[in-house]
Amino acid sequence: MSLVILTGARGAGKTTVCYKTATLARAAGYTCAGVITLSRPDGAREVLDVRTGQIRTLTTTPGSGPVVYLGRFCFDAHVLSWGNEVLANALPCHLLIVDELGPLELELGYGWTQAFATLREAALIPALSLLVVRPELVDKVRLLLPVDTTLVVGLENRDRLPDALVRFLRSSTPPRP
167 or 122: whose pLDDT is higher?
167
In this structure, the chain runs to a length of 177
Burial tier of 171 (Cβ tally within 10 Å: 0-12, 13-18, 19+): exposed
**Which one-letter DSSP state was computed for residue 69?**
E
| Claim: this prediction has a pTM higher than 0.85 | yes
Q: What is the pLDDT of residues 23-46, one digit of tens each?
A: 999 999 999 999 999 999 888 899
70 or 12: whose pLDDT is higher?
12
**What's the average model confidence in pLDDT over 72-76?**
86
Domains by residue range for the chain, with CATH: 2-37+87-171 (3.40.50)
CA distances from 173 to 17, 83, 121, 159 (A): 20, 26, 18, 23
| Distance separating alpha carbons of residues 160 and 87, to the nearest angstrom | 27
| Distance separating alpha carbons of residues 116 and 2, to the nearest angstrom | 15
Q: Residue 177: pLDDT above 60?
A: no
| Distance separating alpha carbons of residues 130 and 111, to the nearest angstrom | 17
Q: What is the pLDDT of residues 126-175, one digit of tens each?
A: 689 999 999 999 999 999 998 889 999 999 999 999 999 999 999 888 77
Q: What is the pLDDT of residues 88-108, one digit of tens each?
A: 999 999 999 999 999 999 998
73 or 142: whose pLDDT is higher?
142
Question: DSSP states of 104-121 as a string?
Answer: HHHTTS-SSTHHHHHHH-
